[in-house]
Structure 1
Amino acid sequence: MYIKTLSVTALNNYVKKIIDSDFILNNINVKGEISNFKMHSSGHLYFSLKDDRSKINCIMFKDYARALNFIPKDGDNVIIKGKLSVYEKEGVYQLYCHEMIQQGIGELYVAFQQLKLKLEREGLFSSAHKRPLPKYPRKVGIITSPTGAAIRDIINVSTRRNSSVELLIYPALVQGENASEDIIKGIETLNKIENVDVIILARGGGSLEELWAFNNEKLAYSVYNSKKPIVTGVGHETDFTIVDFVSDRRASTPSAAAEIVIPSLLELNSRIDNLKENLIFNMNRIIRDKYNRIQILNKSLNIHSPMNYILNQYNYISSLQDKLNYTMNINIAMKKENLNKIYALIEAHNPLKVLSKGYAVIEDLAGNIISEKRVLKESNSVKIIFKDGNINANIQCLDEL
């Protein structure tokens, strides 16, 4: 039997024709929980419909979406009416929705909200517990799948920003039943490595059930009790998990987590250059200001120089000396004039002057002037002072008159 070889396009087209010709698949009702819901700017709705074991991708074009009487969201339980078909370009089948009936909130979404409320009340989300990230980490621990896109994104960003930072990868399951325990072991292992500065917990995007491992209560406590700061980059920007609320910093994607943790060497060098320029500028400004200040002080010192003061004091002393000499000369002249007057007066009353007129002075041998005759009776020896000298004499007798 000859079997024709088909191209991929022909195969997808053949499968699409088979599915499109099936009456049941073209008129189908499916119930499940909405996950990974996105509303495109065009108005089309893209989401997954899932139960506890499986999921299917869905699309509702804007013409059908306009007829909805509610806004769908993750966690809604709904019944979808539509048809199953193949998207030939990707080779996947998906549910094209014509109607959507809301039934209620899904079990996973309820469990997520209940755990979030519990941990928030216990203080695991408190900003007071958030540890600061190291500014310049030397070694970064990464917990993620070793084969996923997340680790490639982190390595690319880290290499571009700062290739000198060492990356230590702990390969872990990031989806499935045992993923939470595996991630917990990774946190415990990296906490025991002393020179690990910070930990990145990362995973690519996915539906709520694909990210469910990061909504585990034990994992939340492991993140909370970690000695090393933890940055989460789980899913896309619109994806939030429990560990995002507990971690020290939440990034929208794995790449964004690397941007946050790894400092840019280019930015650091640029900052150092700016600081260097500012330092040189400020040093030159300070030196210039100090130099100008010294010049001002030097001028002030010259004006108020001690030598100038000393010279001025010399002049002052000289003037005082002149004044003193003048005052002394006046006083001496006055004293001299008074002395001459006294001398003249003394000379006028000098008893020795009388001797030149023929008079004499008689003294006893003790030098006492004898001015009465009764004294001669007691002593006969006397000294007679004449104009031209003295003689000693004895008086032999006295005639009394």
Structure 2
Amino acid sequence: MYIKTLTVTAVNSYVKKIIDNDLILNNLKIKGEVSNFKRHSSGHLYFTLKDESSKISCVMFRDYAKFLDVEMVDGLRVEIKGKIKVYQKDGSYQLYCEEVKKQGLGDLYAAFLELKENLEKEGLFKLEHKKPLPIYPKKVGIITSSTGAAIRDIINVAKRRNAYIDMIIYPSLVQGDEASKDVIKGIKYFEKNNDVEVVIIARGGGSIEELWAFNDEELAREIYNAKIPIITGVGHEVDYTIADFVSDLRAPTPSAAAEIVFPNYYEIEKNIHINYIKLKQSIDSTLSEKKNQINLLKKIIELNSPMNYIVNEYKNISDLNDRLNSGIKRKVLDEKNRLGYMIDLLNAHNPLKVLNKGYTLIKDENGNLIKNSKDLKDEDLVEILFRDGKINAKIYND
């Protein structure tokens, strides 16, 4: 039998025609569980429909998606009407969805929500239990697959941002039944060898089944009880696991976790330089301001110095002395004038002065001045005072 050799394009085109002409594949209703759901910025929806044994890629274009009345989330059980089509360029086929009917949550997603609710009630997700991440770590622990894209992304980010920080990698399974136990061993390792300051748990994106190891209750409690801060970077930005809720910080991707943990060395260096300049300017400004204040205080002190005060007080004392001497002289002169006046007044009224005019004064034997003749009796002894002396006499009445 002769077999014709075909090109890859010819084979894909042939398969496409067979599927396009199949009545069943062009009018399908399929039930299953939504997984790895993504909403593109264009409005198109991309997800996987799976059951216990198999899965199929699905797309719902914007024109159909805008009439969708079902909130599409991972773990949702649905019934979908659509067509199987082949994408000829890469030979893949997928279900092109036209209608979606909700049937309920899948078992895995229901288990995820139940565990999340229970742990949340216990308080494992509360912010007050979150440990702060170090700002400038010297050594970082990383728990992830040694061959996955996550570790390559983290290393690339770390080298770009800060090659001076040591990284200790703990190789771990990140998918499958033993993955959660392996991650727990990694946490215990870093807890025992307590020389790292923060731990990154990382894994690339995937479906809910592929990320299921990070929804393990034992792993959640190990993260919660860890003394070292733990940041998770599991899956893509839209993926959330129990480990994300209980960790000290959740990053949307492994690369984002590295961006958070590894400070940018060059930005630090730049900030140090900027702060050095600001500090120097501040010190110079402060010194200049203080110098001006000192000069001002110096002038104030000079103006109010004790020596200036003493000099001024000497002048005040001299002025007071002059005023005092002037006052004394004036007082002495006044008193001298008053004394002269009193002397003149006394002289004017001095009874002895009349003796110079030829008059005499007569006193009785007791020294009393005789003013009237009737005060004298016969044979009274008297003293007669003249200008130049005195004599004693006796009174005789004729």
The 3-state SS of whatever aligns with 1:128 is helix
Q: Letter of the aligned partner of 1:124 in structure 2?
A: L
**Which residue of 1 is the match for residue 51 of structure 2?**
51
**Structure 1 portions without partners, runs of 5+:** 338-401
Deviation at 1:268, TM superposition (A): 1.1
Report the number of matched residues. 340
Query: Partner amino acid for 2:50?
Result: K
Q: CA deviation at 1:106?
A: 1.1
For the residues of structure 1 that align with 2:62 and 2:331, how far apart are their CA atoms? 128
> 1: distance between equivalents of 2:310 and 2:63?
106
Separation of aligned partners in 2, 1:152 and 1:138: 20
Matches within 5 A, 1:63-82: 63-66=63-66, 68-82=68-82
1:307-326 to structure 2, matched below 5 A, reads 307-322=307-322
- Deviation string 1:352-386 (CA, Å, 9 cap, x unpaired) is xxxxxxxxxxxxxxxxxxxxxxxxxxxxxxxxxxx
Give the Cα–Cα distance (whole angstroms) in 1 for the partners of residues 144 and 73 of structure 2: 28
- Structure 2: state its 5+ residue gaps: 338-398
Shift of 1:79: 2.1
Q: Deviations over 1:24-78 (max 9, x none)?
A: 4444433210112223343332111112343221112334445544343322211
Question: Structure 1: how far apart are the matches of 2:15 and 2:179?
Answer: 35
Residue 150 of structure 1 pairs with residue 150 of structure 2: yes
Equivalent position SS for 1:100? strand
Counterpart Cα distance in 2 of 1:47 and 1:141: 34
SS at match of 1:56: strand
Give yes or no for contact 2:70–2:100 (8 Å, CA) kept in 1: no
1:243 corresponds in structure 2 to: 243
Distance 1:125 1:19, change over 3 A: same
The equivalent residue for 1:361 is none
* 1:181-192 → structure 2 map (5 Å cutoff): 181-192=181-192
Pick closer, same or farther for the CA change 1:330–1:70 going to 2, 3 Å: closer
**Cross-structure match for 1:115:** 115
Q: Which residue of 2 aligns with 1:87?
A: 87
Query: How far 1:233 sits from its partner (Å)?
Result: 0.8
Equivalence map 1:169-188=2 (5 Å): 169-188=169-188
Per the alignment, residue 394 of structure 1 pairs with: none
Equivalent runs, 1:295-310 vs 2, <5 Å: 295-310=295-310
Question: For 2:306 and 2:99, how far apart are their aligned partners in 1?
Answer: 104
CA gap 1:175/1:89 in 2 versus in 1, 3 angstroms: farther
Q: Percent of pairs identical after alignment?
A: 59
1:131, CA displacement in angstroms? 0.2
After superposition, give the CA deviation of every residue in 1:214-253 in whole Å (9 maximum; x if it has no partner): 1110110011011110001111111111111100001111
Equivalent residues of 2:75, 2:107 under 8 A apart: yes
User: Is 1:37 the counterpart of 2:37 in the alignment?
Assistant: yes
**1:15, distance to aligned residue in structure 2 (A):** 4.3
Residues 62, 291 of structure 1: alpha-carbon distance in 2 compared, 3 angstrom cutoff: closer
Alignment partners' CA distance in 2, 1:16 and 1:107: 35
- What are the residue-to-residue correspondences of 1:119-134 with 2, within 5 Å? 119-134=119-134
SS at match of 2:117: helix
Task: State the match for 1:279 in structure 2.
Answer: 279
Rounded to whole Å, the distance in 2 between the matches of 1:23 and 1:330 is: 144
Query: Secondary structure, in 3 states, of the residue corresponding to 1:36?
Result: strand
Number of the residue aligned with 1:252: 252
Structure 2 vs 1, CA of residues 7 and 257 (structure 1 numbering), >3 Å: closer, same or farther? farther
Tell me what 1:197 maps to: 197
Determine the structure 2 residue equivalent to 1:355. Answer: none
CA distance in 1, matches of 2:229, 2:86: 46
Q: Normalising by the residue count of structure 1, what TM-score does the alignment of the two structures yield?
A: 0.76
Identify the range of structure 1 (318-327 vs 170-179) with the bigger mean alpha-carbon deviation: 318-327
